[in-house]
Amino acid sequence: MSLFDVVEPCAFKAADGRAVHHTRPGAMGVEIDDREAAPLVEAGKLVPHVADTAPPTDIAEKPFPDDVTADAVPETAEPEDGDEQPGPHGRRRGHRAR
């Protein structure tokens, strides 16, 4: 059993014994018996599945774009004493639905 990617529409027997017909190619690997897949691979309808091997990016290496520095990012403003803070918005009390 191996994973294969569907390149062209084809029909085959899946690993669990079900007959499967793929009409559209997809990037998701399909598990098929190697003997069942061999003629489809030769016909160019299936290719062996290759997992994504993109190297992980090191986010700590460049936390900001080249043209922006940490000093250029504005700090958040703290509320002043007179500023009213919004409260939670829930149901109105003392009101009944009729």
For 34, the token pair is: 């190697």
SS3 state of residue 15: coil
CB 24 within 8 A of CB 9: yes
Give the amino acid at 17. Answer: G
pTM here is 0.47
CB 63 within 8 A of CB 25: no
- The angle subtended at Cα 64 by Cα 73 and Cα 56, nearest 5°, is 150
SS3 state of residue 70: helix
* pLDDT (tens place) for every residue of the chain, 98 residues total: 888 888 888 888 776 777 777 767 775 778 888 888 899 899 988 888 877 655 555 555 555 555 556 666 666 666 666 556 666 666 666 666 65
